[in-house]
Amino acid sequence: MNKKIALIKGDGIGPEIVESAVRVLDRIAEKYNHKFTYVDAPMGGNAIDVFGEPLPQSSIDTCLKSDAVLLGAVGGHKWDNLSGKMRPEAGLLGIRKALKVYANLRPAKLYPQLKERSPLKNEISEKGFDILIVRELTGGIYFGERGIRSGSLGREAYDTECYSEIEIERIARVAFEMAEKRNKKVTSIDKANVLESSRLWRKIVHDIAQDYPNIFVEDMLVDNAAMQLAKNPGQFDVILTSNMFGDILSDLASALTGSIGLLPSSSLGDSTLGLYEPIHGSAPDLPRNVANPIGTILSAAMMLSDSFNMPQEAKDIQDAVEKTLNNNYRTADIYMDGYIKCSTKEITDKIIEFI
């Protein structure tokens, strides 16, 4: 099978973790007689330096003509003082909008091999957890009306949270469909005691729930959800939430796994053209060849499964990651005394070896 993959390598550690994922994909292609063709699509700080903008139209066109997009990370101190629309992170919002990917799937799993790295108490980490956060990606406060105006106390800034029924319905259906394949439980996160947008969110979610009678649905306020994630993450199966709440809660969940470098994500819409990326940032201060590439490699596995319908190939990568951890290989972020410390390249070598 031939597939074209757009690579947004990005900034900081982005290029090296994307390179690790490409090496793993090449091993899969070799094993299963596939052909993966890669095309670069500059975005972020590197695009600002060359093109004067964080997301050139040429990069959008490249992504739209590809079968999937693999993204590293964008941003860095060099571009911190730029205005909002010119910041590297603006490219993220732009590419999500251009690809029409509205469902961000963020799994957070505590590997038994890494329970000692989790900040959770032993009696909690011993139980483990396997959570899928389904985050709405193209609506809400990140895409709402914003600006600077004169207020009663002088100059003020505003950002608007706005959700339509259609936006809520389509992300809710994604969450329920995911729950059907898992443990049949959806926890919908909102702030319905304060926000009008959350009250509509809650109503629409319960309307959609009627089409999934075998799924248990519960509502939880976002502040309580943060507390419950820290106290008892094992209670969650699928978490359904808005753009901003999902952004925050998924980072909290990632910290509970022992390292943000472990976790992948996929962003999907109504087509098979998806955007795949680790949930961490560009870590511009990190030395080269130190970063953990596992989150990016597992993102590539999600790409094989979700965009290319290659479930066995995806499982091979996931199994290889587990075997690597089982054999005590660790990057610096998850290293402990008694284990084998690896560079970015070395742990990628081991994952490839186990495929």
* Residues assigned a catalytic role: 142, 191, 223, 247, 251
- Taking the alpha carbons at both ends of the chain, their separation in whole angstroms is 19
Cα distance between residue 300 and residue 170, in whole Å: 25
What would the two tokens of residue 78 be?
A: 């060099």
Report whether 295 contacts 263 (CB < 8 A): yes
Angle, in degrees to the nearest 10, between helices 344-354 and 294-306: 40
Report whether 307 contacts 273 (CB < 8 A): yes
Helix extents (H) in the chain: 14-32, 45-51, 57-64, 90-99, 122-125, 165-180, 196-209, 222-231, 243-256, 294-306, 311-326, 344-354
Residue 284, C-beta contacts closer than 8 angstroms, at least 6 positions apart: 11, 12, 13, 75, 76, 77, 78
Helix, strand, coil percentages for the chain (3-state, nearest 5): 45, 20, 30
Residue 26 pairs with which residues in a beta bridge? none
Query: Taken in order 56, 61, 66, 69, is the CA torsion positive or negative?
Result: positive
What would the two tokens of residue 162 be?
A: 């706005």
